[in-house]
Amino acid sequence: MKPGRAQEYKTLPHNTRYEAAILSLLLDPTASIADKGEVFDSLQANDFYDLRHQEIFRACSHLYSSKQPIDIVTATQAVEEKFPNPGTFISSIADELSAISIDHYTGVVRNYATVRSAIQLLTKYNNELRSLKGDSVNEIVSVLDEIQGEILQIDNRGKGNFYEPRTLMSDATQEYQALNKGTKDIWIRTGFKLLDDVISVRGSRLIVVAARPGVGKSAFVISTMRNMMHAGHKVALFELEMDRLDVTNRWVSQEGNIDMLQLTYGSGPGLAAWEKIMRSGGTISEWPALVDDKGGLTVHELKRRIRMARKKGAQCIFIDQLSQIRGEGKAEYERNTGILQELSKLKKQIRTPIFLLAQINRRSEEKGSGGPALHMLKSTGALEEEADIVLLIDRPYIRSRRPEDKGKAIVDIAKNRNGATGKIELEWIGSRAMFKNKD
């Protein structure tokens, strides 16, 4: 194999002097094992541009993991059949030993590798994009989703290093101290006090909100979004079922304390209602929200739009609902499971909580002895397996028709990967399609 890169890669960005400086540290028998370990944690062989540098790094990494000494002799022996005159080449690197900033030098080499990976990725997809036809919408969306996903992985390069317990404890302690001082919330609060005491809406969470039709899944999500926005959090709603005007009506009804029927039926709002609309409208207009009501989205197109919302600053994502997402597969269970797996991967990529609404089959609940239960989701797809949190919404009045149940709403925390389960009670205000804390 000839030294250096092949002809077609000569123009790709690189800095072989930085690469050689890092290798010189690894070859220095007086350098600390900790410093060498930091280099191995930060880089991998393919981050180096020069193929000889790659081979030397691989050899040093193998010696390190085998707890053998790393120096000119051991490294030369390890690569003697990999390229011509390895001893001379390795000696030339070792002769230039100098003190380096490990973070800076490994960061530069890794950044060059990131740029090269992006160039290679776009080159790989260039011909595929050129061959696409304008009428093959699904194919175009699928390719764009693949590109975005791979670019996101490239962008995360260097952010996934190994963390030692000392670092983990330092980061966690800072979070605890911030909580004690009241200077920081490490999660986004739903605004429902009893619920916030149990669940943690933060980071990579897939939160499933499930109920039978007509119970108020959408109302619960819209109420939750309103609470979050009042606290200053930017949220994004992908409303695949309702029209954006329906969402607006609910927010106006909730914020303005207006019977929603006045906004949607009869002769419209009266004078008193108009005064409330104008006051609440000023508040709503300033809310940090993104609403997308495009229906019939494939899971790939939905993922692409979610990434766009995340780039626009959304701190929490809401999707209404699972049954309206177009997945792949013949059977409903297969389609839903595929969708859930895609969303589960996405939550880790964007490190943002995702609320997903799902419907409980009426017949499933009729077989039960009361409200919804976790086992009723088994026919819907891999909801129970993929979700970090499952919230089951119930309004007992729908079944009992007892006056005392009319304003009662139950949220069953049926699954909570990082905390307790149990039921909490909220208040339901039907005229405003709204959930609120129980007085």
Mean pLDDT within 24-42: 87
Mean pLDDT within 163-171: 73
Domain coordinates of the chain in residue numbers?
A: 1-162, 182-437
Read off the tokens for 424.
């909490």
Specify the pairing of strand 408-416 against strand 389-394. Answer: antiparallel
Task: Give the C-alpha separation, 249 to 264, whole Å.
Answer: 8
In this structure, the chain runs to a length of 439
In this predicted structure, what is the pLDDT of residue 1? Answer: 45
pLDDT digits (tens, 9 = 90+) for 176-233: 776 677 655 567 999 999 999 999 998 899 999 999 999 999 999 999 999 999 999 9
C-alpha 71: how far from chain center: 43
Task: Give the C-alpha separation, 248 to 254, whole Å.
Answer: 10
Decide if 202 contacts 417 (C-beta within 8 A). no
pLDDT digits (tens, 9 = 90+) for 345-385: 889 888 899 999 999 876 655 555 578 998 888 878 788 88
Residues 6 or more apart whose Cβ sits within 8 Å of residue 258: 252, 269, 273, 276, 277, 280, 432
- The pLDDT of residue 393 is above 80: yes
What average pLDDT does the structure give for the chain? Answer: 86
Residue with tokens 């139950």: 410
Its CATH architecture, for the domain 1-162, is: Orthogonal Bundle (1.10)
286's enclosing H/E stretch is: none
Which SS3 state, helix, strand or coil, does residue 33 take?
Answer: helix
How much is the pTM?
A: 0.65
Mean pLDDT within 40-67: 91
Decide if 223 contacts 229 (C-beta within 8 A). no
In this predicted structure, what is the pLDDT of residue 159? Answer: 47
Task: Give the C-alpha separation, 94 to 104, whole Å.
Answer: 20
**Quick one: pLDDT band at residue 343, thresholds 50, 70, 90?**
very high
Its CATH architecture, for the domain 182-437, is: 3-Layer(aba) Sandwich (3.40)
424 bridge partner residues:
411
pLDDT digits (tens, 9 = 90+) for 200-215: 998 899 999 999 999 9
In this predicted structure, what is the pLDDT of residue 364? Answer: 56
Which SS3 state, helix, strand or coil, does residue 315 take?
Answer: coil
Q: How far is CA 323 from CA 299, 313, 333, in A?
A: 11, 27, 11
CA atoms within 13 A on the CB side of 93: 28
